[in-house]
Structure formats: C-alpha cells, structure tokens
A and B are shown apart, each in its own frame.
Chain A
Amino acid sequence: MSAAVRPRTEIRLMQPADLKSVAAVERAAYQYPWSLGIFRDCLLAGYYCLVLDVGGSVTAYGIMSVAAGEAHLLNLCVHPNAQRLGYGRRLLGALMLRAADAGADKIFLEVRPSNQVALRLYASVGFEQVGIRPAYYQAENGREDAVILSATLQPSR
C-alpha cells in the first residue's frame, strides 16, 4: 500500500517523476502545448516549479523564474476538468509568495487576450496590463498577441 490515495490537496515542488503527468495536463489544456523536454529543462534550469496534487494526482502546476528582483511567470495551468475549483488561484498565491521570498518586488507574465478566465484571475490578485507583445503566440489563424501583465509583490517580512 505504498501509493495510497491521499484525500487532500497539496502544493509541492515538481519532481522529475511528475514530468509525464505535467506534460499530460499541458496537452489536455493547451492547443500548442510545451513538450515534456521543455518542462525537464525548466527543472534543470532551477526555475520555481510547483505542482498542485489532488489526492495524489497532478492536476495543476506553475513555473516561474526569478532573477534580478523580478519574477516571470512562464506557465500556470490547471487541467481543464479541474478548472473553476480555485486551484489556479491557490497556485498563483503560492508562486507569488515564493517570488517575494526570493527577493522579487515585481512579477510579470504573458497571457493570450482571448483567455478571459486567466485575465480575470490575474486582475483579481492585482495584475495590471503593462504592454503588448504583437504576434507572440501561435494561433489557429496566424498569430495572436500577448498581453503583458505585471503586479507588485508584497515584501516578505
């Protein structure tokens, strides 16, 4: 009875053993997913990689780099079947805390303007638009811009 069902949710550091599950969530969520190799590189590069584990099943994750007082949220993803349960918000909160702990005072991210759910979540925790990257994303008919959002982080005591 090694891997028992744990009826609880926890946010923890991503492990190499999670890569397959993470890539599977990514494929389920995005039309143009990152490959498993990209996630492996993120782990190797020492980025902050967190997973949200529901009862022992990887359901959401976030990847963030922190350097020179700035945090960059590279990926925040919840499995489509587990969206609207508050997991994205919880994970985002955990990442922002870690960014502040690591000395960042600002956090940046790119998001598709068509991703209304994400835009609402980011706005609700204080992100504001600071720019546009034209034709940043691959899209079904050509390219889609990226909206650049930024939030100020509360310094950790």
Chain B
Amino acid sequence: MTALRDRYLKEIGIPVWRIRGASAVTAPASPEPALAIAEPAAVVGGAPDTDVWSALQAKVRACTLCGLHRGRTQTVFGVGKRDARLFVIGEAPGADEDRQGEPFVGRAGQLLNAMLRSIGLPRAEVYIANILKCRPPNNRDPDPNESASCTPYLSQQIELVQPRVLLAVGRIAAQWLLQTDAPIGRIRGRVVSYGPRNTPLVVTYHPAYLLRSPLEKAKAWADLCMVKELLSRSS
C-alpha cells in the first residue's frame, strides 16, 4: 500500500519525506568511515604546527586589512580538526557567528551539521572556515576587495590542513573560489581540481538556502554523496 502511494506521489512529483532516524537515512553504498572520534573540535598535538596555527589566528584576530573590522564583534577564524580530510568553505559570518566567534552556528549551522552527519562525518571531524573572517554589515555579499584581502588566510588554513576534499558551500564561496559568474546550479554537481595539489573541490548549496528551498535538498544530498565517494577513494 505504502509502495503504491509512494509511486503515485513520485508520479505527480511530490517528494516523500521521512523522519530522520535509525533506519530512515539510507547512506550511500560505500562503507561508513570510522566514527569512533570522541574528542572535541580544534584539538591538535605537536608543537611546531600549533605555533603556525596560533600565529595565523593572532594575525586574523588583529586584522584591519579591510573596512569590515570596524563592524565586527570578533573575528571568526574557523573551527575543526586541523588534519581533517574534509575542508568546508563558507561565505562569511552572519550575526550568530559574529556573536559566537564560530562559523556555521544557528539554524544553517545545524543543517550543515546534519548534512555532514548524513555522510558519517561529525562536525568535529572536519575543518570549517569562511572566505571572510568578519561579518559584512546586514549580511550583504562580500565585495571583491574584501574577499581578496581575506582569502590569503583561508589559503593558509587549507595549506595547513591539507584536506583530501574541499566542499564549497553556497554561491558566493563557489563563485569566488572558481572565479566564475556561472549560477550555482551549474557549478555544482561536478568535481573540479583545485589548487596546487589538485584537491578535488565539490560545490553544493548553502544550508541557509536549503532552509528556504527544501526541494533542493535532493541535489545537496547528491553532492554530499560525491564528497563521501571522493573521501573513500582517497583513504
């Protein structure tokens, strides 16, 4: 009966939602990566690396390269595992992030966490940073000068983490990283080699956009499956 109903719904183009729970999420076929990580985020051992990270963090905290420093409560450096296999790149801090000093908090952040969890990656297992470390007023789009002066920080973070896969989240991040005007619907759904190490870069929708346009979640799920596939291939 349910199968028949589902078929009718599918036929008339109505997606069937299921409660997220034990058996509901059918993860992609490849085996689950190890989940046995219980440490909190941003824990790292080893001295020299820590020095580079603290130096970079101090530089960001004191940065006045663009006008955005005047309006910030604090800088939002980035968070996560410093040898993460997945590096998530967002756009810029919003109000919640500016207040808490951490990227992707609030509702969009929770959705991002759920998205990552759906491919077996707890938030603490990845590294998350934005292109801009300071909040643009009224959440306006970053202007190119702001992005240009801020991206060297992101570059160094990527260089330090040396992730296996990059995931750009949202139009602004994707367009900036790939320097294209193409709409995000055209940029996503592919794997582009990025940077001197030819790191595979996947692009997907911003969780804030997915909250407004839940029908696009299917495509975001496809993108995440691609990430999972790339990660399992590179291990």
Contact = CB atoms under 8 A, between A and B. Distances in A.
Interface of A: 1, 3-9, 54-57, 59, 79, 81-82, 84-87
A54 B179 contact: yes
Contacts of B190: 81-82
Contacts of B179: 8-9, 54
Counting chain B residues whose Cβ lies within 8 A of the other chain, the interface size class is 20 to 34
A1 B196 CA distance: 11
A57 B194 contact: yes
B177 A55 contact: yes
Interface in B185-206: 186-187, 190-196, 198-199
Contacts, number: 69
Nearest to A1: B159
7 contacts: A6-B155, A8-B151, A54-B179, A54-B193, A81-B191, A85-B180, A86-B180
Interface of B: 131, 148, 151-152, 154-156, 158-159, 176-182, 186-187, 190-196, 198-199
B149 to A, nearest CB: 12
A7 B176 contact: yes
B169 to A, nearest CB: 14
Contacts of A5: 154-155, 158-159, 194-196, 199
A114 B100 CA distance: 55
B182 A85 contact: yes
A82 B192 contact: yes
